[in-house]
Amino acid sequence: MSGFTQRVEDALADPVLKIAVERTAGTAEAKRAAAVGAFPDFEAARTRAAVIKDHVVANLGHYLQQFEANAQAAGATVHWARTADEACGIVIGICKRADARSVARSKSMLGEEIGLPHALAEAGIERIETDLAEHIIQLAGERPSHIVWPAMHKTREQVSALFRARHREPHLEETIAAMAESARRHLRSAMLDADVGISGANFLIADTGSVCTVTNEGNAELSIMPPRVHIVTAGIEKVVPSLPHAIHMLRMLARSATGAALTQYTTFYTGPKRAGDRDGPEEMHIVLVDNGRTQMREEGLAEMLRCIRCGACMNHCVVFRQIGGHAYGSTYPGPMGAVLTPALDGLSANRDLVHACTMNGKCQEVCPVKIPLPTLLRGWREKSWREGLEPQTVRRALGLWAWGVRHPRLYRLGSALAVRVMRQRARAGWISRLPLAGAWTRHRDLPAPEGKTFLEQYAQGRRR
């Protein structure tokens, strides 16, 4: 049994996980639907968003150099990193030069991708996660299970127990509001005393050199303002030409992620503190991280670089809703994660992920930048076949099927027989056990065929 299969077995056997995932993903799905319904022409807006991102990715070198020049002119230092290790090395280097004992970190998926939490721990630098969900999983010693709601897999009861054990003055009432208040008390002083603030970037504005962060909690602002040094880690695909382009993407991002018209705190930083400024960091460093992105662009995955990390694809994914994010075993879960992970960490170790999809197309339907996720997953499946990564059972079964479709009479006979056997085994329209389909029926029933095979029905229709 592969690691992925084992994790899925564990996830399906967890009675609490599905409740937790349903509570958040279900709410997100309903809120997004309302926001999209209220938008004048969301479909046209999605197309525009996709075209903006394609324009950026096609001219990425141009925009990165423009961004670099403008950010430097504003007093920021721009660093470049080819790999995750290079990026972490740069961040740790800046922290050490600043004599940092503690850093306040505002949630960034890129930081997770490059393994920054681990690198900081190795360097002996205390890390204060300031996003509420990241704080929860830091206390629990876990990894994010969703890119917008990293602690989605936790129920309120589990969070409550965690806070009671770890907070200095934990909540007295068993309400979510009281728990959030407990975290606020706990994190405040740590944030204000941090030596370095580290954030990601939702957008890099090329024509001004500004970095844009969005949060609903205000934790990015509180992590960045008090410390002497601000470090931004950003994927190179985050650049947009100008503020109006960012605004269009912001409209799409907020609606797709939380169903709001705009995130509560949308902030643009252009360089470090200036003469006369009352607050803000004295140093601003921006680390531009490639980590496989130029390769994705060269190798047919340019469309994946449109992704703005809204999480809508996973909220709407029937597989994600069953197994949650941890089962994927990667930084990025769900449909976008299944496409990204093989590019970041190699296909052979992640072959299972590209098969963990029903191809129902829901992710592509809700994606604000129209990433053809099922098509990209199919591309990975083909590559896995070509490279001989598919196991013997799959190769044999597909070989048999390929032989079958080349012999139409036999194929028709076989499928007609299969349909009749399945109908015979069904109880009230569902099959609970079926030879050769044990992997399916172990966790759920198989719907029984309604009537005859398609070709039989087609032939009947023609006769009429």
Partner 1 sequence: MSARDAILGRLEGSRPAGAIAREAAILANDPERPLLAHEALIPQFLAQLGLASVAATFEPVRDWSGIPAAAAAYLDATALPRSIYLPPDPRLRACDWSGIALRETCAPDKAAAVGRAIAGVAETGSLIFETGPATPMLPNFLALHHVVVVEARTIVAHLEDIPARLREARAHYWVTGVSGTTDIEGQYVRGAHGPRYLHVLLVDEAP
Amino acid making up residue 94 = I
CB of 404 to partner 1, least distance (A): 45
CB of 362 to partner 1, least distance (A): 19
Residue 204, phi then psi, degrees to nearest 5: -115, 125
Say if CB 205 and CB 254 are below 8 A apart. no
CB of 243 to partner 1, least distance (A): 6
Cβ count within 10 A of residue 317: 26
Query: In terms of Cα–Cα distance, which of 315, 336, 319 is closest to 327?
Result: 319
CB-nearer residue toward partner 1: 162 or 353: 162
Dihedral (CA of 429, 432, 433, 439) sign? positive
Task: Specify the DSSP element, H or E, that contains 104.
Answer: strand 102-105
CB-nearer residue toward partner 1: 217 or 303: 217
DSSP state of 445: P
CB-nearer residue toward partner 1: 115 or 226: 226
Residue 89's alpha-carbon distances to 85, 119, 144, 359, in angstroms, are 6, 8, 23, 39
DSSP state of 447: E
CB of 143 to partner 1, least distance (A): 15
CB-nearer residue toward partner 1: 6 or 83: 83
Residue 390's alpha-carbon distances to 53, 145, 300, 398, 437, in angstroms, are 33, 27, 21, 10, 18
CB of 251 to partner 1, least distance (A): 7
CB of 16 to partner 1, least distance (A): 12
Is 389 exposed, middle or buried (CB count within 10 Å of its CB: 0-12, 13-18, 19+)? middle
CB of 352 to partner 1, least distance (A): 28
CB of 304 to partner 1, least distance (A): 16
Beta strands 77-81 and 446-447, pairing class:
unpaired
CB-nearer residue toward partner 1: 263 or 330: 263
CB-nearer residue toward partner 1: 193 or 387: 193
* C-alpha–C-alpha distance, residues 165 and 170, integer Å: 8
Within 215-315, residue ranges assigned H as helices are 219-224, 243-257, 293-298, 312-315
Amino acid making up residue 28 = A
CB of 255 to partner 1, least distance (A): 10
CB-nearer residue toward partner 1: 188 or 433: 188
CB-nearer residue toward partner 1: 256 or 453: 256
CB-nearer residue toward partner 1: 42 or 332: 42
For the chain, the 3-state helix, strand and coil shares in percent, each to the nearest 5, are: 55, 10, 35
